[in-house]
Structure 1
Amino acid sequence: MKTYEVNVTRDEDAWMVDVPAVKRVTQALNLKEVDVMARDLISIMTDEAPESINLDVHVRLPETVESHVLESKRQRMVSEESARKAASESRLAAKTLHGMGVTLRDIGIMLGVSYQRAHQLVNA
């Protein structure tokens, strides 16, 4: 199976699907169509069966958009790390309070979680 590089960029109202190996471009109305359109184009140009074609797709966004996408991904990673740290601190607090003899209901109230969640935290 041959792998074809596919470069996708946004035009005014469609995605431009460029396949350098066949020196041709086609369009897709949405990103879900890119795979089918690229395979069809390559198949037409090379007589290869569409299912035998591997694609290496690269979606290229304008720099102004790309910077926002990258920052969004970075912020999500920071958020996920913060959530992991918060969960760890909640478990430590619940276990420490439980070790001091505080009831699960009171632990739940103190941590702002349900009695059931307090029980889960203590037993995690």
Structure 2
Amino acid sequence: MKTYHAEVTRDGRSWLIRVREIDRSTQALRYKDVVTMANELIEIMDGVKDDEYDLYLEVHLPISVKDRQARAEVLREEAQRKLGMSFQRASQLAKSS
């Protein structure tokens, strides 16, 4: 089975998707559409069906997003220490009330 690798980067208000194996690009307005757009590009350009290949995404986030992710992780760990329970357990308890 053939494998395709898609490099995904934020480009202004959209996501740029570059598929190395076919040396082509496309874009998606929302992140949730990245896989669909990559699949459509591969299927159109290489004439394959979705069950004939594997797709791997390599997402490159902007530094500002990586910084926010790191800060969120720190805050989550602090909250877990203060509560004495995991984030998931706190979420379960909040939903059950």
Q: In structure 1, what is the Cα distance between the partners aligned to 2:27 and 2:41?
A: 10
> For residue 79 of structure 1, what is the aligned residue in structure 2?
79
TM-score for both structures, normalised by structure 1: 0.59
Q: Which runs of 5+ in 2 are unaligned?
A: 86-97
Mapping of residues 1-124 of structure 1, within 5 Å: 1-84=1-84
Off by >3 Å, runs of 4+ in structure 1: none
Q: Which runs of 5+ in 1 are unaligned?
A: 86-124
Larger radius of gyration: 1
Tell me by how many angstroms 1:31 deviates: 1.0
* Aligned length in residues: 85
Tell me by how many angstroms 1:25 deviates: 0.6
Identity of aligned residues (%): 34
Specify which structure has the higher proportion of strand: 2
RMSD between superposed Cα atoms in Å? 1.9
Q: In structure 2, what is the Cα distance between the partners aligned to 1:63 and 1:30?
A: 19
Tell me by how many angstroms 1:65 deviates: 2.2
TM-score for both structures, normalised by structure 2: 0.72
